[in-house]
Amino acid sequence: MALFQGNNPIVKWVEYRLPIFSFIDAHLIDYPAPKNLNYWYNFGSIAGIMLVLQIVTGVVLAMHYTPHADLAFDSVEHIMRDVNYGWLLRYMHANGASFFFIAVYIHLFRGLYYGSYKSPRELLWWMGIIILLLMMASAFMGYVLPWGQMSFWGATVITNLFSALPWIGEPIVTWLWGGFAVDNPTLNRFYSLHYLLPFVIFGVVFLHLWALHHRKSNNPLGIDIKGPQDTIPFHPYYTVKDVLGLAVFGILFSLVLFFAPNALGEVDNYIKADPLVTPEHIVPEWYFLPFYAILRAIPHKLLGVIAMFGSILVLFILPWLDTSRVRSATFRPVYKLLFWVFVVDCIVLGYIGANPPQGAFLIWGRICTAIYFLFFIPVLPLVGWFERPKPLPTSIAEAVLAKSGGGMPEGAAAAPEGRG
Amino acid sequence: MAGHGDGATRRDFLYIALGGMGAVGGLAAAWPFVSQMNPSKDVLALSSIEVDISGIEVGQSIKASWRGKPVFIRHRTPEEVAEARAVPLDDLPDPQPDQERVKAGRDEWLIMVGVCTHFGCIPLGQQGEYGGWFCPCHGSHYDTSGRIRKGPAPRNLDVPHYEFLDDNTVKIG
Amino acid sequence: MTRIRTLLAATAVLATLTTAARAAETIELKQMDWPQAGPFGTFDRASLQRGFQVYREVCSACHSLQYVAFRHLEGIGLLEEQVKALSAEFEVTDGPDESGDMFQRPGKPSDYLPQPFENKQQAQAANNGAYPPDLSLIVKSRKGHENYVYSLMIGYGTPPAGTTLRAGMNYNAYFTGHQIAMPPPLTEGGVEYADGTAASVDQMAYDVTNFLAWAAEPTLESRKATGVKVVLFLLVFAGLAYAVKRKVWADVH
């Protein structure tokens, strides 16, 4: 069902010079998607829209913000009090970052559950991790800009981590700061990079979607698309479903934005940065807490930094760590249990990250860090080898028909698919 | 079939309703992004100024700053007023009687934005061939009513909206 | 079944951790009902105006309110003419004049509330080294928000037996460490309210807290009102989207 027919002379004129209409047809309208995608598959498009929202709110906030250590905090209050709808734009941007991460984390865990990182989607998965890393860098620098106590001290703690690197550590930190401590030069360069990175993310998202469309989406059954009977056109099925998902996500976002806009933040950031007063507890934003817990679990400075970055970098080798030939956790009972243990472990790590690294918090922090890494090495490879998966359905179409009460009996099984 | 027809129109209604709501919601959501570029409340707070004119003697002028621009406030002499009113309108490139440029009963007070209507330089007071102002950038001459008489400027010096709050105070803007 | 077991495991872990958290001394603040709390809460303008009077007559001697301009006070229910008259009651620094000197003049609505000290160092010098913080954001910048500020105001009293107060400090039941440099600011009848309300310490604490809550977030009412409209719109929109989705997907299910 192509939306733009070739009869219109204007369409034909443009198409001949830049095939934008056929591009839209192929990738947004006729694009074949598996017919069995569930609501966990909404979060990719939600994340994309959150990126656009962050860019749009960010650009208009930049019209009123002043990136100077003496004026930044004041300019944010100017936005909150005097700029038309300034309070709305500021809260949208701050809470938008949180909801962007909520969408991306769910999107990531969905990929873990259904084996979307497995062949032939390894590079698609890599693009995703790169987007996550760029998001983290962006969010970290963005949080510094209001120049509150947490902005300043969070920046100080995290940039100081680089001093753990032997020999080059201290010069790198001085280079990052543009001085001998976090100060105005640091603020200015963070502002420049914070404005830049989201557009870099936009570019990587393009690569991410290109990779996706090349091999088509995975699906909850984890079995390949065999033919058109397994797919439905993106429009109207998934456009309409994405609108619904976005609306529900929007309700949740609005409830926080309008009725609890500071719930996800830190009260200390409403105090102007003071280099001579350290807050009682230096805590990053919630989406960094699990990594913060891992960092503080290791008693050695450099190893802690390596562990923290390692916890994300390990995701790059995941497609090769997981030796199972079955993609979806639906058919992998052992992996499914371990997946949920992993999810709980991440949540507990987040809670630990919010608390001082003492007593029970420290002990559990270390246990949960161990669980985190053990999940990847050696548990995942071992599970892949020794697990006996449940029988896979023959095709997506059969499974959908069976679910709706028709077609072949559910017992019909197929061999697990090899690497494509 | 009757049922099929009903289904088709109800489906269309739902689509149109959804699309319509989406469009309305989209416009409502877009408005703050447009509105934020309008002057903020602190800028609007300075959009009008009150000036104490009690100290300005006859034949004296002061310059006030309003919305980032200079405003000439001149306490004209009776001769300047008479001179302005004696000029035939046909002589003026931008015809305007002096009475239109001042407030009745306070004709001696001339209040104008001190920005040349040519390219925006600030004219110099009580200079030029017409006893008014002279713009040194491109040689525009303004008379005792601030009207353009000679030179490239297309319009008379702008008169802002103002009102006398009392004999000693004028509110501009 | 496995999911239930993992959920139980999670709760067990979190339970041990939360008890660990409670081991450190957490001061229970006095909990009050605040008119602006909740999704439909709005400011009590009569209380805001009394609170402003308390700020002006008591707190402004040491605490600045740097982000509030006179024109903002229309938000506590004052009319434009009242704001103009009020601002003229204050002396504001302006300048430099033609000789290069700064001078005092009556305030205008566009001016910000004058600050008691020229800089932080002067403030500290006048207060035994302690810095009286600016109050524009105090309610948002402290855990407990209104409850914290209120508790602090009413928390003064005689220290329990055996406590030694450090030099220049005052006992406060709700301040971390229980020793605060600020002497009790409110005394019974210390302010004569313009609207005739009895000025007990509790009343003044309540009113000034409400005023400071407004000062920290003057756009609160606008935010909540907009929120109600947005959420209602989205609920209807989501309902419609669901109906459309079901219709479109009918042939696949």
Q: What is the pLDDT of residue C107?
A: 94
C16 touches chain A (CB under 8 A): yes
Contact state of B15 with C244 under an 8 Å Cβ cutoff: yes
Distance from CA of B43 to the nearest CA of A (A): 9
Contact state of A78 with B42 under an 8 Å Cβ cutoff: yes
Query: Is the CB of residue C187 less than 8 Å from the CB of residue C201?
Result: yes
Split at pLDDT 50, 70, 90, the class of B115 is very high
Split at pLDDT 50, 70, 90, the class of A279 is very high
* Beta-bridge partner residues of B150: B141
Q: What would the mean pLDDT of A99-122 be, rounded to a whole number?
A: 97
CA distance C40 to C37: 8
Within a domain: residue C205?
Answer: yes
Q: What would the mean pLDDT of A290-296 be, rounded to a whole number?
A: 96
CB proximity under 8 Å: C 206-225 to A: 216-219, 222-224
Least confident of A38-42, A94-98, A324-328, A413-417: A413-417
CA distance A120 to A211: 10
Q: Which of C13, C237, C248 sits opposite A348 (nearest CB)?
A: C13
Q: What is the pLDDT of residue A34?
A: 96
Residue C15 has pLDDT above 90, yes or no: no
- If one compares B115 and C9, the residue with the highest pLDDT of the two is B115
C247 closest CA partner among A250, A401, B9, A34: B9
Catalytic residue among A107, A138, A241, A322: A241
Residue A340 has pLDDT above 90, yes or no: yes
Q: What is the pLDDT of residue B8?
A: 67
**Pairing, β B69-75 against β B109-113:** antiparallel
**Overall residue count recorded for chain B in this entry:** 173
The residue type at A174: T
Residue C129 has pLDDT above 50, yes or no: yes
pTM of the model: 0.90
Within a domain: residue C39?
Answer: yes
Nearest Cα residue in chain B from C230? B25
Place of tokens 């139980």: C8
Residue B27 has pLDDT above 80, yes or no: yes
Mark residue C76 as left, alpha or beta (left: phi above 0; alpha: psi -120 to 50; beta: remaining): alpha
Q: What is the pLDDT of residue C14?
A: 65
Name the strand (E) or helix (H) holding A403. helix A396-403
Percent of chain C predicted with pLDDT > 70: 90
Longest CA–CA separation in chain C, Å: 85
Distance from CA of C171 to the nearest CA of A (A): 21
CA distance A148 to A154: 10
Query: Is the CB of residue A103 less than 8 Å from the CB of residue A127?
Result: no
Within a domain: residue C156?
Answer: yes
Residue A160 has pLDDT above 70, yes or no: yes
Report residue A109 as tokens: 């865990």
Q: What is the pLDDT of residue A420?
A: 38
Nearest Cα residue in chain C from B21? C237
Q: What would the mean pLDDT of C34-43 be, rounded to a whole number?
A: 96
Q: What would the mean pLDDT of A344-350 be, rounded to a whole number?
A: 97
CA distance C94 to C101: 9
Distance from CA of B158 to the nearest CA of C (A): 26
Contact state of B21 with C240 under an 8 Å Cβ cutoff: yes
Split at pLDDT 50, 70, 90, the class of C13 is low
Instruction: Give the SS3 label for residue A158.
Output: helix
Q: What are phi and psi of C65, to 5 degrees?
A: -135, 60
Within a domain: residue C73?
Answer: no
Q: What is the pLDDT of residue C12?
A: 65
Q: What is the pLDDT of residue B3?
A: 47
Instruction: Return the residue in B14, B24, B36, B42 with the most chain A beta carbons within 10 A, the one to mutate for interface testing.
Output: B36
Within a domain: residue C145?
Answer: yes
Mean of per-residue pLDDT scores for chain C? 91
Report residue B31 as tokens: 């408005």
Contact state of B18 with A84 under an 8 Å Cβ cutoff: no
For residue range A366-399, list pLDDT tens digits in order.
999 999 999 999 999 999 999 999 999 999 888 8
Split at pLDDT 50, 70, 90, the class of A408 is very low
Catalytic residue among A217, A311, A324, A395: A217
- Which residues of chain A neighbour B40 with C-beta distances below 8 Å? 64, 78, 82-84, 86
Residue B2 has pLDDT above 90, yes or no: no
Q: What would the mean pLDDT of C189-209 be, rounded to a whole number?
A: 95
- Which residues of chain A neighbour C229 with C-beta distances below 8 Å? none
The residue type at C52: F
Catalytic residue among A25, A230, A242, A268: A242
Q: How many domains does chain C have?
A: 1
Residue B4 has pLDDT above 70, yes or no: no
Split at pLDDT 50, 70, 90, the class of B136 is very high
CA distance A347 to A345: 5
Cis upstream peptide for A378 (omega within 30°): yes
Within a domain: residue C108?
Answer: no
Contact state of C109 with B45 under an 8 Å Cβ cutoff: yes
Residue A415 has pLDDT above 60, yes or no: no
Split at pLDDT 50, 70, 90, the class of A1 is very low
Q: What is the pLDDT of residue A264?
A: 97
Query: Is the CB of residue A33 less than 8 Å from the CB of residue A230?
Result: no
Give me the CATH number covering residue C214.
1.10.760.10
CA distance C73 to C215: 9
Q: What is the pLDDT of residue C1?
A: 54
Q: Residue C213 is part of which domain span?
A: 32-68+113-220
Catalytic residue among B4, B138, B141, B161: B138
Residue C124 has pLDDT above 80, yes or no: yes
Q: Which of B18, B22, B35 sits opposite A84 (nearest CB)?
A: B35
Q: Which of A241, A254, A361 sits opposite C17 (nearest CB)?
A: A361
Q: What's the angle, vertex CA A114, arms to CA A101 and CA A349, rounded to 5?
A: 45
Split at pLDDT 50, 70, 90, the class of B46 is confident
For residue range A189-220, list pLDDT tens digits in order.
999 999 999 999 999 999 999 999 999 999 99
The verdict on whether B118 is a catalytic residue reads: no
Q: Which residues contact C156 (CB under 8 A, 6 or more apart)?
A: C170, C171, C172, C173, C184
Burial of C171 per CB tally in 10 Å (0-12, 13-18, 19+) = middle
Q: What would the mean pLDDT of C146-151 be, rounded to a whole number?
A: 97
A187 closest CA partner among A247, A272, A109: A272
Q: What is the pLDDT of residue A352?
A: 96
Mean of per-residue pLDDT scores for chain A? 94
Within a domain: residue C42?
Answer: yes
Split at pLDDT 50, 70, 90, the class of A122 is very high
Question: Would you say the C-alpha torsion A260, A262, A263, A264 has a positive or negative sign?
Answer: positive
Q: What is the pLDDT of residue A100?
A: 98
Contact state of A83 with B40 under an 8 Å Cβ cutoff: yes
How far does Cα A217 stand from its chain's mean position?
18
